Amino acid sequence: MRLINSAVVLAALLVTAPAMAQSGPIAPPNLSRYVSASSLSQADLASIKAYIDREAPRLASDVPADAVQARTKLVGELQSRTRRVSPLFREQYTALLEPHLRALMAGDNLSAAVMAAQVAGTLGTDGAVKMLTDRIDPKDEPRMAVRVWAAGGVGTLTAMPTVSERRTTRALRSLAIACCEEPDWAVRRRMILSMANAMANQRGQDASQNAVRDAAIEQLAQAMADTLQDIASGQAQFVQTLPIATTELQSTLLTAGDDDTRTAIADAVVPVLARGHDAILQSWDSIRQDPRSLAAAARFLDESELLLTILTQSDPTDAQLSKAVLDGNRRPVETAARRWAAHRG
C-alpha cells in the first residue's frame, strides 16, 4: 500500500513539475527589496511584474476590501517614510504598471478607474503624469469622479522633484486648458488647487524650481481669468472655485518671502483679480440665490482686496466687501471695481 501511495505522489509531481516550471516567476510578498535598488536584473523585473500582475487586477474586485488592499499594496512602498525610492525603480515600476492602470481607467468599472488614478498619483514619474493628464479633459473622460482624482494626482505629481520640469510645465498647461472646459465646479476647483500646489514645488532653490513656480502662477492666473469670464456670463456656481486660488496665493506670498515670487504673482495675477469685482457684479442676482456661491463670492472679494493691496503696494481701505456681498449691497463692490480698474491691463 505504501508503494502504491508513493507511486501516486511521484506521478503527481511529474505531472505538476512542468506546469510549475512554465508558470513563471512567483510574485514576492512585497517590493521592499527592490525599491531602493540602483540596478535591477531581468529576474528582478520579472518578479516585480509578477507582483503587479497579481495585485493590479484586484483593483477591479467586486469585494471592496480586496480592492482597497490591492491599492495599498501597489502604493505602500512608494509612500514609505523610512526608505528611499530610487529613480530606476520608479521608472521601471511605472512602465510595468502602466498597461494595467490605463486599462482600468478606461474601463467601465468606476471604482476601479478611480483607484487606478489614485495609484498613478503616487508614482512620481513623467509617465504617471501623462497617464493622468489623459483623463482630465471632459471630452476624453466623461466621468466626474475620474477627472477629479486625475486632477488631484496631477497636482501631487507636479509638486514632486522626481517629475521633470518639461513634463510638469506641460501638465500645468493641460490643467489650465481642461479647467476652461470643465463643467463641474468641484472638478474645476480641484484643478485650480493642483495648479496652485505647483507654486510650492519641492525641487529646491534652483532654476527648475523657479521655472515650475512661474509656470504654475501663469496657468493659475489663466484658469482664474477663464473662470471669471464664465461667472460673468451667468455661470455663477464657478465662483466656488476661486477662494482656494486666492488662499493659496496668499500662502505662497507668506512662505516664499522673495521678490522674484512676489513679482511673478503680481505680473500674472493682479490684472485678473482687478476684473473680479465686475464678474461678481454681472452675476450678482444668480450668486445671491445660492448660499454656497454667496459665501464664496464674499470670501473671494475680501481675499482679492488684500492681495491687490499687497501686490500693488497700495494703501489699505476698510472696504468690508464680504459684508457688502452678504448684505446685498452692491455699492462698495462697484467702488472697489473702479478703484482697481487701472490695473486690469
Instruction: Please spell the DSSP secondary structure of 155-201, one letter per residue.
Output: HHHHTSTTS-HHHHHHHHHHHHHHHHH---HHHHHHHHHHHHHGGG-
- The pair phi, psi for residue 320, each rounded to 5°, is 50, 55
Cα(98)–Cα(75) distance, rounded to whole angstroms? 13
Q: Is the dihedral of CA 338, 341, 343, 344 positive or negative?
A: positive
Q: How confident is the model over 191-229, as pLDDT tens digits?
A: 999 999 899 877 776 678 889 999 999 999 999 999 999
Cα(345)–Cα(336) distance, rounded to whole angstroms? 16
Q: Is the dihedral of CA 176, 333, 247, 326 positive or negative?
A: negative
Angle 99-150-208 (CA atoms, 0-180°, nearest 5)?
95
Reported as a pLDDT band with limits 50, 70 and 90, residue 77 is confident
pLDDT of residue 16: 41
Q: How confident is the model over 288-330, as pLDDT tens digits?
A: 999 999 999 999 999 999 999 999 999 988 878 999 999 999 9
pTM: 0.87
Check residue 316 and report its DSSP letter.
P
Lowest mean pLDDT among 83-87, 110-114, 150-154, 274-278: 83-87
Residue 275 makes CB contacts below 8 A (sequence gap 6+) with: 225, 228, 344
Q: What integer best gives the mean pLDDT of the chain?
A: 90
pLDDT of residue 23: 59
Q: How confident is the model over 98-157, as pLDDT tens digits?
A: 999 999 999 999 999 999 999 999 999 999 999 999 999 999 999 999 999 999 999 999
Q: Kindly provide the b/e burial profile for residues 233-261, where b requires at least 16 CB atoms within 10 angstroms of the residue's own CB.
A: eeebbbbbbbbbbbebbeebbeebeeeeb
Instruction: Please spell the DSSP secondary structure of 14-61, one letter per residue.
Output: HHHHHHHHHT-PPPPS-STTTTT-S---HHHHHHHHHHHHHHGGGGG-
